């Protein structure tokens, strides 16, 4: 997606590329894609003022070390989970098509958010910014959204594959109905999760058209190719993978 959201509320920062997701697990990276709090170290008190900078620096280094550890452990777990699901995907799909769609969508959604946080933390350290900690609550948010999104996408794609024979009509329905509905559901979910000071309608109105227009950069093309070349068992995992790559590109381009 070609846009980037930045909203501030006190010390909380929501930062990340707006991700077009209809076919993916993460609209996710889209809006509210990075919830990270930054804070300054408290200066030490005492007469030896020349010790203050050294003590503050040491404390900051420890904070960065803990943050890096959290980030890399989290990414290791997320990458391992995605790999395990993909490795056993055929077996899992035979057991429960909807179940594996929910699991793989959730796994890719969490991985996308973990990578975005890692990029932001590394960038902050490189630019000598204030200490930033890893936000596990945001990861949980996107794992949760991924489950719901995976189930909805699987049911929607099954309907299009089985009920609409004409491919151009599938694409029109997917982009004209499925995509806007998915974006709307995500914004409502995100607003409720973040509690948006009970102003849920305003949060949806502000972001809906911006995200929808940004989604038209890539997802109509995906719909055409997917309905033409992919079977119904592959469309959810492929869309999740594409969304992950797209999120990384957007994060790198947006800095």
DSSP state of 133: -
How many angstroms separate the CA atoms of 255 and 251, rounded? 6
Mean pLDDT check: name the lowest of 36-50, 107-121, 179-193.
36-50
> Does position 48 have pLDDT exceeding 70, yes or no?
no
Is residue 240 a contact partner of residue 154, using CB atoms and an 8 Å limit?
no
Gap between the Cα atoms of 203 and 96, Å rounded: 35
Q: What's the rounded Cα separation, in Å, for the pair 1 and 14?
A: 16
Q: Which of 187, 159, 165 is nearest to 98 (CA)?
A: 159
Three-state secondary structure along 6-49?
EEEECCEEEEEECCCCCCCCCHHHCCCCCEEEEECCCCCCCCCH
Q: What is the pLDDT of residue 119?
A: 82
Report residue 129's pLDDT band, with 50, 70 and 90 as the boundaries. Answer: low
Q: Is the pLDDT of residue 42 over 50?
A: no
Give the Cα separation of 48 and 138 in Å (integer).
Answer: 40
Q: What is the pLDDT of residues 138-163, one digit of tens each?
A: 899 999 999 999 999 999 999 999 99
- Please provide the DSSP assignment of 73-84 as one string: HHHHHHHHHHHH
Q: What pLDDT digit, counting tens, does each position of 158-193 carry? A: 999 999 999 999 999 999 999 999 999 998 888 888
* Span 4-30, average pLDDT: 39
> Do 82 and 107 contact (CB within 8 A), yes or no?
yes
State residue 95's pLDDT score.
95
For the chain, the average pLDDT equals 76
Residue range 97-113: mean pLDDT, rounded: 95
21 has a pLDDT exceeding 60: no
> Structure pTM?
0.73
Distances in Å between the Cα of 124 and the Cα atoms of 61, 137, 226, 246 are: 13, 20, 38, 22
Among 249, 247, 254, CA closest to 30:
247
pLDDT category, 68, cuts 50, 70, 90? confident
Query: Is the predicted pLDDT of residue 250 greater than 90, yes or no?
Result: no
- Across 242-253, average pLDDT: 79
**8 pLDDT higher than 70:** no
Q: How far apart are CA 150 and CA 103, in angstroms?
A: 7
Residue found under tokens 């992919």: 230
> Phi and psi of 161, rounded to 5°?
-65, -40
| Distances 130 to 6, 74, 90, 125, 133 between C-alpha atoms, Å | 17, 22, 45, 8, 10
pLDDT digits (tens, 9 = 90+) for 200-233: 677 677 788 888 888 888 899 999 999 999 999 9
Read off the pLDDT band of 135 (50, 70, 90): confident
The string of DSSP codes covering 180-191 is HHHHHHHHHHHH
């Amino acid at each position: 997606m070609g846009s980037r959201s930045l909203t501030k509320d006190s010390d909380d920062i929501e930062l990340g590329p707006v991700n077009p997701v209809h076919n993916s697990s993460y609209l996710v990276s889209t809006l509210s894609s990075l919830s990270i709090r930054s804070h300054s170290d408290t200066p030490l008190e005492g007469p030896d003022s020349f010790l203050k900078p050294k003590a503050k620096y040491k404390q900051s280094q420890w904070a960065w070390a803990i943050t890096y550890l959290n980030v890399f452990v989290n990414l290791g777990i997320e990458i391992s989970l995605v790999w395990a699901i993909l490795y056993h995907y055929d077996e899992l799909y035979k057991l429960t098509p909807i179940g594996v769609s929910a699991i793989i969508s959730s796994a890719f959604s969490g991985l996308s958010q973990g990578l975005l946080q890692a990029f932001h933390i590394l960038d902050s350290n490189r630019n000598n910014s204030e200490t930033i900690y890893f936000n596990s609550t945001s990861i949980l948010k996107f794992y949760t959204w991924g489950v719901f999104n995976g189930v909805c996408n699987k049911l929607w794609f099954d309907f299009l594959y089985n009920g609409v024979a004409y491919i151009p009509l599938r694409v029109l329905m997917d982009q004209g109905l499925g995509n806007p509905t998915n974006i709307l559901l995500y914004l409502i979910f995100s607003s409720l999760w973040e509690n948006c000071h009970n102003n849920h309608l305003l949060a949806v109105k502000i972001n809906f058209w911006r995200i929808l227009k940004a989604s038209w950069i890539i997802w109509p093309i995906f719909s055409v190719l997917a309905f033409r070349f992919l079977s119904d068992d592959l469309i959810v995992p492929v869309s999740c993978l594409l969304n992950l790559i797209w999120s990384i590109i957007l994060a790198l381009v947006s800095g």
